[in-house]
Chains A and B, each alone.
Chain A
Amino acid sequence: MRMGVLMTAPAIALLFLFTLGPALYAFYLSFFSWSLLNRMHYAGLSNFGYLLTSHLFWTAVANTASFALVVVPTQTMVALVIAVLLNQNLPARGFFRLAFFFPAVSSSAVISIIFMWIYNKFGILNGLLATLGLHGPNWLANPLFALKAIMIMNIWTTSGYFMVVFLSGLQAIPQSIYDAAEIDGASAWQRFIRVTVPLLKPTTFFVVVMGIIGTLQMFDQSFILSGGTGGPLHSTTTVVLLIYQYIFSYGKVGYGAAATVILFAVTMGVTLVVNRWLGKAIEY
């Protein structure tokens, strides 16, 4: 027993120092008014009161929610479809697996900067649209399109990673079940819907939960593509970008910490709901 504690002590110490400690400190800070530079003083629940009546905070919540609602289902389905396709005996399978996985191993900052050029008004995307006779918008400068542009980029980036997760899930499904289904006369579509999808449920659970957590915490792509402003007209301001701005740009640590606590509660709640829905394993 003592040995076990001793062996895990370094990991636990690091966890407290760099993860749990700062997280608890954020809870503490959410009850204070502090600019990082002055003395902090106790503010009770006023930070929460300010946020819940702040138009900007609700804009950020709406942006984040719509981002998650679009990105999570899309990237899950795209990843599943690609994984099923690449699980077949296709020519150049290795190349395609690499090509789809590549964005997941690249830095999201680098990808964001590349996409800044792709989305430029005279960039490659609008060039492609023009060959189809379409007049592309000024993606990142138009409040109607800026967040959608980031959604597209995010789906492209993360689908590859989740594809690999689905691939490993697919490999774990015993071939015998497919054989049995085939003997019973199930078509390819029926085998996909009745065998593959249900047996992938633990993998799907993981993908959906990670997707939700990732999208609710989206920060870097908005930060880079909007030049740190969350613009145009706050259309790309996510909750985490707003937290960053409150704490580091505007010197309102209490508001930022309170938003962190709210985000934590929401993420936790959503994850619990998903757990009830997808969390139980299926046995045949």
Chain B
Amino acid sequence: MNGKMRRSVQGLGSLSVAAALLAACGSGASTAAASKSQPVTVTLSGWTSSPVEAQLLTKDLQGFSKVYPNIHVNYQPISGSGSNYESVLRTRFVAGDAPDVIYVNNGGESSTFMANNDLIPLNSYIASSHFSIGDFYKSSLSLFEKGGKIYGIPKDQSPLALFYNTQMFQQAGIAHPPTTWAQLAADAKLLTDPAKHVYGLINSVQEPRWAQFLYQAGGGVMNSSMTKFTLTSPASVRGYTYFVNLYRSGYATVPTTVGASWGGQAFGMGKAAMVLSGNWLIPFLNQTYPGIHYNTAVLPSGPVSNVSLTFPVAYGITRDSKHPGAAWKLIAYLTSRSGMTRWMKLGLALPTRKSLVSLPYYQQHPVTKGLLAQLPNSIAWTFPPGFVQFSSTTMVDQTTLAIEGKESPAQALANMQQGGQSILNSAG
């Protein structure tokens, strides 16, 4: 691990090292006093949305070692998807050897980790270090809060917005991105050309790609206190049916139809005119498909609203941490106002601090406009403990059957409602 880190340090340009140094000096003045004790090592683990994320975080951590020379950060990214990351974390928890600081996901196992006290409450650290917790969006913070205790500091988030291929829109003579469901369907129809394997909209059928349609119709997956599933309400059925019909009528499809593994890739390949995605797609497109011309917009409005989903990710300290004080310093460094500003400028996600949405960075990067505009109008997405299997299999399977026409949308929702409600009841 050490060797690996050293290599990447050498790989950095001298310019960025200087920038990190400068940034470090800025935030370090108030907190550097505590670093006189014995040198300690703090392990930091997270998944990586793409190799870019690991590179960027490694870069940001250089600055930390300048401010706290006695705290050595051992960054151990865990590759693979979010669920693979949490499987690895589980085994580390069983072995009593979890990393000190971890990424805490919005859905998945985060609620389980909190319920089992695998994460430690951060309230005392927040209070003693005068950390500006009030600046965070309530919606993001509340995902990592339970019974007044805060288990994670949201490091960033991204809502889903509409990414659209400006070149394809121009060629089809469409002047603006769609603002209503009717326009979305009409534009998608116009942009679809099955002979060229080009589709209006390409997204996989995981629930974070269709749940917003339910909310836009006035329905939802669960009630706000997450005690009841509401998938079969007339409004939910209406939203879901709209989504399913986009696929059934052939204007929308799943990524594998065009040989892609996810919607963002299909968009980069030029096979999708539109895709619902988050901020993470921007660095991916810049690196992998720099030739694609695109822009972002807020989601088209349904009968009730154009609300979207947002996915905050937090830093938490595990119960296995031997140096929670040093771990907190790392979290505070990364999520302080200046720390989050640095992270935002790397372009991977949007802030969880209200004060940062007006960063000059966003004026210089107008492509984020749609995402930023969507941010205040989005639901922080999560599930109660014990729903990993339900969301990763039942919801995907039922929606697959629905879009393939093997099951009516209402029937698919009824099956999900029954499955989900029985898990809720048994958890009682």
Contact = CB atoms under 8 A, between A and B. Distances in A.
Interface of A: 35-38, 120-123, 138, 140-141, 227-229, 231-234, 245, 248-251
Nearest to A252: B389
Contacts, number: 63
Interface string B172-193: 0000000000000000000000
Nearest to A37: B116
- Looking at chain A's contact residues, the main secondary structure is loop
B424 to A, nearest CB: 16
B85 to A, nearest CB: 11
Interface in B98-132: 109, 112-113, 116, 118
A258 B93 CA distance: 22
A35 B112 contact: yes
Interface of B: 81, 83-84, 86-87, 90-91, 93-94, 109, 112-113, 116, 118, 197, 254, 256-259, 261, 386, 388-389, 392-393, 396-397, 400-401
Contact of A37 (B84, B93, B393): B93
A248 B388 CA distance: 11
B116 A231 contact: no
Given A233-B397, A250-B388, A37 B90 contact: yes
Given A37-B90, A248-B87, A248-B91, A138 B397 contact: no
A141 B256 contact: yes
A251 B113 CA distance: 11
B256 A121 contact: yes
B400 A228 contact: no
Query: Which 4 residue pairs spanning A and B have beta carbons closest together?
Result: A141-B256, A248-B87, A122-B259, A250-B389
A156 B393 CA distance: 30
A123 B112 CA distance: 41
A53 to B, nearest CB: 14
Given A249-B86, A251-B112, 16 more contacts: A35-B112, A36-B90, A36-B94, A37-B94, A37-B116, A37-B118, A120-B259, A121-B256, A122-B197, A227-B81, A228-B81, A228-B84, A231-B393, A248-B90, A248-B91, A251-B386
Given A229-B392, A231-B396, A249 B87 contact: yes
Contacts of A251: 90, 109, 112, 386, 388
A217 to B, nearest CB: 19
